[in-house]
Amino acid sequence: MTQDGGQAVHIDTSKPHPARIYDYLLGGKDNYEVDQEAGDQLAAVAPEVWISVRANRAFLQRAVRHVIDSGVRQILDIGTGLPTSPNVHEVAQELAPDVRVAYVDNDPIVKAHADALLSRAGTTSIVLADLRDPQSIVDHPEVRRVIDFGRPVALFLVAIFHFIRDADEPERIIATLRDALPDGSFLVLSHATGDFADDRSEAEAVYRGATATMNLRSRDRVEGFFDGFELVEPGLTQVPFWRPDTTPPPGSEEIGFYGGVARKNA
Q: State pTM to two decimals.
A: 0.89
- Residue 108 domain-assigned (yes or no): yes
CATH number assigned to the domain comprising residue 171: 3.40.50.150
For residue 114, pLDDT beyond 90: no
Strand partners, 263: 186, 230
Instruction: Give me the pLDDT at residue 266, please.
Output: 61
Q: Which amino acid is at 11?
A: I
- Residue 13 domain-assigned (yes or no): no
- Residue 182 domain-assigned (yes or no): yes
Instruction: Give me the pLDDT at residue 249, please.
Output: 85
Mean pLDDT of 208-221: 89
- Residue 6 domain-assigned (yes or no): no
Q: What is the DSSP string of 191-213?
A: EE-STT-S--HHHHHHGGGSSS-
Q: To the nearest 10°, the Cα dihedral for 159, 163, 164, 167? A: 150
- Residue 3 domain-assigned (yes or no): no
pLDDT tens digits, 221-246: 999 999 999 999 999 999 999 999 99
* Confidence band of 195 (pLDDT split at 50, 70, 90): very high
Helix (H) or strand (E) holding 67: helix 49-69
- Residue 91 domain-assigned (yes or no): yes
Mean pLDDT of 88-100: 94
Q: Quote the number of domains for the chain.
A: 1
What domain range is 204 assigned to?
Answer: 18-264
**% of the chain with per-residue pLDDT over 90:** 62
Mean pLDDT of 199-205: 76
